[in-house]
A and B are shown apart, each in its own frame.
Chain A
């Protein structure tokens, strides 16, 4: 267990991981037809934008980028209480028959993804939903796995994994924060 914050991915490594994830998304779907990339609020949205940029660079196509806030689909309102502010959900397309890729920053218990799947179902019936995450830290509490993983890491359950993005945090990085230093 690291004694202090340790950087597991720096800005260049984040960039490489996202570009590779973009390639894998194209490969998994045999191209970009009917593809919709949906970021989970908050940092999944910025990562989704980067992935859409990377797909454009390689394939010369603009893949639609949606945003999903799963706060209202969480199962812990009455135990954890309301989140400070619910973020916007932006899915202005019919998802019927689409190839949806959910983008999240960290995959941990799987509860966020469970909520995201429930919410997506209210927007239509995609042909397929895939999951791509920048970091898989293990510790699943539900039978959920990612199709595409930027970086798999092993950390203690007490550690926090923070994904920082330039747009919100001033820099790109993935940092492991030990509990006693954190929050």
Chain B
């Protein structure tokens, strides 16, 4: 059964290729909704969605909120500061209380890996993982796939290298799962100290030097150096990092082919990516942001209707 996503979207690892394709294909027409004068369709009218953001986020939170509003859902935002979480309420209690107020869906961002899974097992509402610790960030992985597909038309056989802080990156994990399932050749490049020890098990190529990666890749997904997750000792200094792994115009010019530039944001300009690359002609960084809303609309839409038992029961009454 691949026509639906099931109850939750927790990561790209559990999804099939067909399910990922379904989300990307569904996202396509949602792009047009954002171009309308009235950027709103009634598909999720009456649905209540709680956005639980227990970790700082601007882009993802706003993107989810726009997606929800463009589908006419009603939303509430809960942040850890200014809520009962500060009084020590547990995650499950917070969610159960929201359920008691008859919400239908929870979007959760949390610093603990597995937080979304934990919640999904304990409440009936649909749960969407908006980033859990260093585990997964599935909607980011999906919007990266959509952006790549927009640009290359097909994904199969393309070569994408993920650059930088793979160790701390849930974006990298979701990308690796999503890309490999869609038949993309994946590589990673970064300092040894910032690559997972078990990187070999992901079935990806590893480049030690950024110049080799640029030579090989058709697209670079440049990760943010997660300064807040690094207590100490991963890299000698930011300048040193930029000198060895920074993606610069000079390095890109040396390649004999154009390389598509992606970055999940927020960028550390002058560290992992130089400004003239981020703003350059091959950058699709802002397309990623635009696609983020469409992909999240698709996920919300599919999960909202994705109750197979209801779908089966109602089939007899469908018009055509």
User: Which A residues lie at the B interface, using CB under 8 A?
Assistant: 69, 71-74, 76-82, 84-90, 106, 108-109, 111-112, 118-119, 122-124, 160
Rounded to whole angstroms, the CA-CA distance of A2 and B308 in the bound complex is: 33
Rounded to whole angstroms, the CA-CA distance of A78 and B45 in the bound complex is: 11
Inter-chain contacts of A90 with B (CB < 8 A): 32
Rounded to whole angstroms, the CA-CA distance of A19 and B22 in the bound complex is: 38
- Chain B's interface size range is 35 or more
**B3 CB–A CB distance under 8 Å:** yes
Main secondary structure of the interface of B (DSSP, over half): helix
Cβ-defined partner of B29 (8 Å) among A69, A108, A160: A69
Rounded to whole angstroms, the CA-CA distance of A71 and B43 in the bound complex is: 8
Inter-chain contacts of A123 with B (CB < 8 A): 36-38
**B4 CB–A CB distance under 8 Å:** yes
Rounded to whole angstroms, the CA-CA distance of A106 and B310 in the bound complex is: 26
Cβ-defined partner of B310 (8 Å) among A78, A89, A108: A78
Q: Are B29's CB and A122's CB within 8 A?
A: no
Q: Are B311's CB and A81's CB within 8 A?
A: yes
Q: Are A72's CB and B43's CB within 8 A?
A: yes
Cβ-defined partner of B42 (8 Å) among A72, A76, A85, A124: A72
Across the A-B interface, the 7 shortest Cβ-Cβ residue pairs: A81-B311, A72-B41, A82-B305, A79-B314, A72-B43, A86-B29, A81-B305
Inter-chain contacts of B32 with A (CB < 8 A): 88-90
Q: If A76-B314, A80-B318, A111-B319 touch, does A118 touch B308 (CB 8 Å cutoff)?
A: no
**B75 CB–A CB distance under 8 Å:** no
**B241 CB–A CB distance under 8 Å:** no
Inter-chain contacts of A78 with B (CB < 8 A): 304-305, 307, 310
Q: If A84-B3, A86-B26, A160-B320 touch, does A73 touch B307 (CB 8 Å cutoff)?
A: no
Q: If A79-B310, A82-B302 touch, does A108 touch B320 (CB 8 Å cutoff)?
A: yes
Inter-chain contacts of A71 with B (CB < 8 A): 29, 43
Q: Are A73's CB and B319's CB within 8 A?
A: no
